[in-house]
């Protein structure tokens, strides 16, 4: 029989990891419309939740290594799997945001150059 404590830990890991995924999804939706700042904000919120989930997992593992016996739990294994899957999603989303941010910076520089060239051409044709 799995202890109530282990079930609660598993459910809290799933809850926080799920919240992190929801923030990650919002971040990617903001990224789709090139709102880098809101995407970054959502990723900060996602990070807060994933850290909470990770702390719960770490505490459970630490408790076991210190001699507190822990029985195998399919639910806890599922929670850990969920945590790691969402952790991977967050890492990919962070990279995508960084890539888009870099491209936007390059595009902005090119647009400024183009505006300067257009201004020079207008001045030359007068």
Q: Terminus-to-terminus CA distance in the chain, angstroms?
A: 87
Closest-CA residue to 6 (of 42, 83, 59): 59
What does the buried/exposed string (b/e) look like for 23-33 if buried means 16 or more CB atoms within 10 Å of the residue's CB?
bbebbbebbee
Domain boundaries, given as residue ranges, for the chain: 4-100
pLDDT digits (tens, 9 = 90+) for 58-113: 999 999 889 888 888 999 999 999 999 999 999 999 999 999 999 999 999 999 99
pLDDT of residue 126: 66
- The answer to whether residue 121 scores a pLDDT higher than 80 is no
Q: Using pLDDT thresholds of 50, 70 and 90, give the confidence band for residue 11.
A: very high
Q: Given this structure, which CATH class describes domain 4-100? A: mainly alpha
pLDDT of residue 67: 87
Q: Using pLDDT thresholds of 50, 70 and 90, give the confidence band for residue 31.
A: very high
Does the reported pTM lie above 0.75? yes
Secondary structure class of 69 (helix, strand, coil): coil
């Amino acid at each position: 029989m799995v202890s109530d404590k282990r079930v609660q830990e598993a459910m809290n890991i799933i809850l926080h990891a799920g919240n992190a995924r929801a923030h990650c999804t919002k971040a990617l939706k903001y990224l789709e419309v090139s709102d880098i700042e809101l995407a970054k904000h959502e990723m900060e919120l996602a990070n807060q939740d994933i850290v909470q989930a990770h702390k719960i997992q770490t505490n459970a593992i630490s408790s076991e290594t210190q001699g507190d016996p822990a029985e195998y739990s399919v639910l806890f294994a599922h929670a850990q799997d969920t945590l790691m899957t969402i952790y991977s999603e967050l890492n990919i989303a962070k990279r995508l945001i960084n890539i888009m941010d870099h491209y936007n910076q390059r595009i902005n520089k090119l647009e400024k150059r183009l505006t300067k060239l257009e201004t020079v051409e207008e001045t030359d044709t007068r």
